[in-house]
Structure 1
């Protein structure tokens, strides 16, 4: 997969990582970048082709796919963080997490998979980037709805990668801990530089990598999946 000359579509492009994705894709020579958001008037990136897109609305997704039938690189970046727990949290917000991160991402992939197959031709079927999280691999009290939704999105990513093998579509999962974006603005903790995060992800795609762990937190969390839960969650052991 080559960024130079590609036609990319980025979901959630009006702020945070989405803006960085669009800017870097243009800087790297993408021939066209569709910058999408539920409120397209909030997208103000020079050189981008702005489209309305609500990934939780199948009609909106279908309209975007019809308008962007030349896409060769799909970036599923749109997300939400409600900071809800599962047992005591607001059920509507918990459902919104899953509707966004799992079903919304799936909506977009289902709509654009045939396009990637067609635009890729015989050489390959383009690429998909799914922006996931270190929280794909572990649960965190205070944001368990997010963790559950990102874990589902990780499983989704592995599933569609297998299903799209026949059309040679690269599916890259990107996992990171805390990144310095609007979503994490209220947390006084060390954060990754979003520009460096996006640069590393695009490098990984050009290297045809299936997964990129962008920091030590993600690497430790991924390794923890293989551990007994008592090792990763010692505080939950009842003696």
Structure 2
């Protein structure tokens, strides 16, 4: 995918990784970027190529309205997410549902709304920002890990379904980035700009999966082994951090 002159839409663009996607796309010559958030007034960009748009993953009507407005989109970046910290067994079940509604159902709703738009514009691409926690769980991440695991395999499923219309579907997996959502984590963090840089480099190469950092590469490489060994190592690493 040649990123110059593309029209992109980024969810959760008001801060963190989403904001960095907008900035990186502009730097690479995007013609227009729809920056979306639940509160569009929170979007602060000076570039005239940025169009602020309301989109709430938990509000189906806002998703439909965004797709009706942004009919020229060729690149969809699904970045918006939450982390409630709710425990799976003893935590608030409503919070667990909110995580799944956001990462799985909400992201899928956006893909379903924009897939005809992408098809009409030649196919384009979908980028889903996932997590190394799609592949394991750590203390305090149970609901987030479960929701991201569902989103990861949903990404694989929609990739197969959208291939016939020429839409590339990319999954982007990372450990911790220095954003608000990881504020309570004291371990190593990458710069959030590293995520769109590697993701967009991958798009130009046609990559369907991008592993952003060494932590995530280690997690992926461990999946074929004994999970007991893996979780012992993960516990040691987390304790050390």
TM-score by length of 1: 0.94
Deviations along 1:73-119, one digit per CA (max 9) or x if unpaired, are 00000000011221111101110110000001000000000110000
Which residue is 2:55 aligned to?
53
Q: CA deviation at 1:45?
A: 1.1
Partner of residue 153 from structure 1, selected from 151, 154, 171:
151
Give the SS at the match of 1:110. helix
Q: Pairwise mapping of residues 74-89 of structure 1 onto structure 2 (< 5 A)?
A: 74-89=76-91
Deviations along 1:163-211, one digit per CA (max 9) or x if unpaired, are 0110110001000001011111232221101112221111011111000
Distance in 2 between the 1:31 and 1:233 partners?
Answer: 45
Structure 1 residue runs of 5 or longer lacking an equivalent are none
Distance in 1 between the 2:224 and 2:59 partners?
Answer: 36
Structure 2 residue runs of 5 or longer lacking an equivalent are 234-241
Q: What is the aligned-residue RMSD (CA, Å)? A: 1.1
Q: CA deviation at 1:216?
A: 1.4
TM-score by length of 2: 0.93
Which residue is 1:25 aligned to?
25
Q: CA deviation at 1:234?
A: 4.3
Q: CA deviation at 1:214?
A: 0.8
Which residue is 2:229 aligned to?
231
Aligned residues: 231
Distance in 2 between the 1:19 and 1:230 partners?
Answer: 38
| 2:108 is the alignment partner of 1:106 | yes
Which residue is 2:239 aligned to?
none
Q: CA deviation at 1:227?
A: 2.2
Distance in 2 between the 1:224 and 1:97 partners?
Answer: 26
Larger CA deviation: 225-234 vs 6-15: 225-234
Q: CA deviation at 1:228?
A: 2.9
Which residue is 1:202 aligned to?
200
Which residue is 1:62 aligned to?
64
Q: CA deviation at 1:232?
A: 2.0
Distance in 1 between the 2:86 and 2:215 partners?
Answer: 21
Give the SS at the match of 2:171. strand
Give the SS at the match of 2:12. coil
Deviations along 1:126-147, one digit per CA (max 9) or x if unpaired, are 0000000000110112111000
